[in-house]
Structure 1
Amino acid sequence: MPPLIAAIRSGGQTGVDRGALDAARAAGVTIVGWCPAGGWAEDLPETPGLLADYPELRETPSPEPAQRTEWNVHDSDVTLIISPDQDTPGATVSPGTALTQDLASSHGRPVRLVGKGDIEDTCRWLRHLGTMLTVNIAGPRESEWPGAYEASFLIVSDLLRYSAGSQPSASA
């Protein structure tokens, strides 16, 4: 039986993006994605930027993160957005996350918010979309949500484990 998730796609920004890429690497799942020209990220603004650590990513012609966001949504089967619980005091949707949601809608791509307690439901939802999926993971930068990297790493690790037939860890 082919795997549910064939690749994790993300743009490599700090926070959710990197947590997802590192979780996929740790699980032996292919990582892909578009990043801004020069490999720009908020913590790595100078060329080669994040490409030094994530050579699997490809540069867009533009240094603007919006192009990276659109191309990652377009080139994926589905987008999963990881963000803080909106019931958390002070939690807001980041501009990049809102853009991702809008682009998924305009490109007709399925999109779903996912949190720690949503792993089983998310995998059931993904199974309805097929197998060998390229899943775009998006969400806030670390500067917009301190702890985003760790949350994303745990959620994507659990998602990959569960989609492969194992139970999520106790962190889910």
Structure 2
Amino acid sequence: MSLFLPVRGWCPKGRLAEDGKIPPVYPLQETTSTDYALRTEWNVRDSDGTLVLAYGSLEGGTKLTADLAHKYDRPVLIINALSFSGNDAARFWSWIQEHNIRILNVAGPRESSRPGVIYNRARYVLKHLLES
């Protein structure tokens, strides 16, 4: 999906990803470590706010992201990706305006936690949020 939005952020050293190496088409900077938690922390730290796409209770890196947003005193909005509605889109844009968010960090669980669901649903939600 391309909405022609600028992309930036951090990735683990070596452009490490769960499914291999992150392609160079994504203009991400490498952290100093292969630790995913450092990438998560730096993306939270360097953004104005974090949108978390939830698929039930927050766990693992998704929970870490929300905790780090609180640590860095960054706004965080959690949207249930499975029950997304137009009300969520309105809430998202109100949150963006209220917190003057220009750099948005988007987080959620890995595709491997729910194969065939996470990517497709995240794509759907983000497309509807950003085009509304």
Could you state the TM-score of these two structures normalised by the residue count of structure 1? 0.69
- The 5-angstrom pairing of residues 1-172 of structure 1 reads 23=1, 26-44=2-20, 49-54=21-26, 56-84=27-55, 86=56, 92-115=57-80, 116-117=84-85, 118-130=88-100, 133-146=102-115, 147-162=117-132
Structure 1 gaps, min length 5: 1-22, 87-91, 163-172
Structure 2 CA distance for aligned equivalents of residues 42 and 27 of structure 1: 24
CA RMSD of aligned residues (A): 1.3
Q: Which amino acid aligns with 2:94?
A: R
1:120-145: CA deviation from partner (whole Å, max 9, x where unpaired):
111112111125x1110001000112
What is the CA distance between 1:53 and its match in structure 2? 4.1
What is the CA distance between 1:81 and its match in structure 2? 0.3
Question: Do the aligned partners of 1:83 and 1:148 also contact (CA within 8 Å) in 2?
Answer: no
Q: State the structure with bigger RCO (CA 8 A, min sep 6), 1 or 2.
A: 1
Structure 2 gaps, min length 5: none
* Runs of 4+ more than 4 Å apart: none
1:42-86: CA deviation from partner (whole Å, max 9, x where unpaired):
110xxxx103342x01100100000000000000000000021x2
Could you state the TM-score of these two structures normalised by the residue count of structure 2? 0.89
